[in-house]
Copies of this chain bind each other. A is one copy, B any other.
């Protein structure tokens, strides 16, 4: 009957990867601040003793989890997107992707709330720069000038990260599936050149 169903994920012995996954899961649920070793241990059905065999320190775990996430994010968000030739359609698809594959965005949003923390900031700086570059390139290919494209990319990316913050962290009117579609359409109409 435990309301907070602390789902213990793996059953047998644990590997470093298990801890990293658990860390990312907890991160997505309640932020980096709650990623504590004793808490994770309970979640996994073991104790600290286990953790410190796999990792030297809590920071080491965070570092590993971040690398794991950054890698998967790199593939998901960026890679399978270059396929779309038409830049305008690529932009539209990019905006739509925010709804699908939410899990990765949830972690993104959680990490953006921990931009203090020396390990997180550089990761998010790289991730953000990559996304900005993708956007900027698409806008250039869509016909905008160098400066225009840069500004529009920054605007679009700001809207993206801001929207996630308002929705997931602030919890501002959760915006049902219906209205969300309408909103995305409006964003596309406003930010994607005809």
**Is chain A's interface secondary structure helix, strand, loop, or mixed overall?**
helix
Would you mind naming 9 contact pairs between A and B with Cβ atoms under 8 Å apart?
A30-B116, A31-B116, A113-B115, A115-B169, A121-B170, A151-B182, A157-B162, A158-B159, A159-B162
Distance of A192 from chain B, by nearest CB (Å): 11
Per-position contact with B for A122-137: 1 when CB-CB < 8 Å, else 0? 0011001100100000
A172:B115 contact, CB within 8 angstroms: no
Given contacts A158-B159, A162-B162, 8 further A-B contacts (CB under 8 A): A113-B113, A113-B116, A121-B171, A125-B172, A151-B182, A154-B163, A160-B162, A165-B165
Number of copies: 2
B116:A171 contact, CB within 8 angstroms: no
Is the CB of A36 closer than 8 A to any CB of chain B? no
Distance of A73 from chain B, by nearest CB (Å): 16
